[in-house]
């Protein structure tokens, strides 16, 4: 049996900038793209997952100015997103590759399910083995037409629809991604969409929708919105991700 012996070094000293929050970076791109006007995003996390979401919206006809997105220049990562509004997306010329991003695929599903054009979401080998039934089932209840591989796995093929209809949906298990998917679909839907959670989850989507001027109601464990509103461009600063700060924090504490 081999042994690894770690020899302690000196105490850590210095400063660092914690990268931007990935979940908020995804949503900043999405809401900026769907808003009317120009949204500037600072502190954007230029990782593989978020860049896949960014590329997807560019393929959907959204113009984005990228500044400082190299990994070496993450502190100055900035986007200028020229929003097209809720009815301004255009049919992509190829499948939208979400890489390994489950968040990106689930949230994009809520948007693409409501569009009047066909589209396809694909992912890498790992993502292609993840069941998407938890988002597909309620989207179909809203009127979406979606086909998938066996087991409701990617690729996901979205047929054009004339519109969705809001539903009152009880989440069988707590999931911020499923909740967000349905709220995104709900902004395109006729009537009211209500999502009730069995336990609280992150509320990034609700907070950011309000930040972009969309009315969202919270009644106990139920989040509700009505379709037919509009998103208004604004400036977004993505805060640092506290989970990414854990490693240097612990290292500093034990040295």
Question: Tens place of pLDDT for every residue, the chain, 255 residues?
Answer: 678 776 666 777 778 778 889 999 999 999 999 999 999 999 999 999 999 999 999 999 999 999 988 765 666 789 999 999 999 999 999 999 999 999 999 999 999 999 999 999 999 999 999 999 999 999 999 999 999 999 999 999 999 999 999 999 999 999 999 999 999 999 999 999 999 999 999 999 999 999 999 999 999 999 999 999 999 999 999 998 888 788 888 887 877
pTM: 0.91
What local confidence, expressed as pLDDT, does residue 123 receive? 98
pLDDT reported for residue 56: 99
Taken in order of first residue, the domains within the chain and their CATH numbers are: 22-238 (3.65.10.10)
Task: Determine the distance from the C-alpha atom of residue 149 to the mean position of all C-alpha atoms in its chain, rounded to a whole number.
Answer: 22
Task: Could you list the beta-strand ranges (E) of 153-215.
Answer: 153-158, 168-170, 192-196
Q: What is the DSSP letter of 240?
A: B
Which of 134, 137, 45, 60 shows the shortest CA–CA distance to 97? 60
CA gap 34, 111 in Å, rounded = 10
Is residue 50 within 8 Å of residue 26, measured between CB atoms?
yes
Residue identified by tokens 């464990």 is 221
Residue 72 confidence (pLDDT): 57
Predicted confidence at residue 235, as pLDDT, reads 97
Q: Which helix (H) or strand (E) holds 139?
A: helix 133-141
**Sign of the four-CA dihedral 27, 32, 80, 104:** positive
pLDDT at 47: 92
């Amino acid at each position: 049996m081999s042994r690894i012996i770690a020899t302690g070094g000196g105490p850590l000293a210095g400063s660092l900038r914690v990268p931007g929050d990935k979940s908020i970076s995804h949503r900043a791109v999405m809401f900026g793209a769907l808003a009317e006007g120009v949204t500037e995003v600072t502190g954007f996390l230029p990782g593989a997952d978020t860049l896949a979401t960014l590329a997807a919206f560019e393929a959907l006809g959204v113009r984005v100015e990228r500044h400082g997105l190299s990994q070496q220049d993450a502190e100055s990562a900035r986007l200028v997103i020229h929003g097209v509004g809720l009815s301004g997306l255009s049919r992509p010329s190829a499948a939208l590759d979400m890489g390994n991003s489950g968040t990106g695929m689930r949230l994009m599903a809520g948007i693409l399910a409501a569009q009047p054009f066909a589209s396809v979401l694909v992912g890498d080998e790992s993502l292609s083995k993840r069941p998407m039934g938890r988002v597909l089932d309620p989207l179909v209840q809203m009127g979406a037409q979606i086909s998938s591989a066996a087991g409701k796995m990617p690729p996901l093929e979205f047929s054009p629809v004339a519109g969705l209809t809001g539903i009152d949906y009880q989440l069988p298990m707590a999931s911020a991604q499923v909740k967000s998917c349905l709220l995104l679909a709900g902004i395109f839907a006729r009537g009211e969409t209500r999502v009730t959670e069995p336990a609280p989850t992150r509320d990034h989507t609700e907070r950011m929708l309000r930040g972009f001027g969309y009315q969202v109601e919270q009644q106990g464990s139920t989040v509700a919105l009505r379709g037919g509103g509009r998103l208004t461009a604004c400036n977004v600063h993505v805060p640092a991700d506290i989970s990414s700060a854990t490693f240097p924090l612990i290292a500093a504490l034990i040295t």
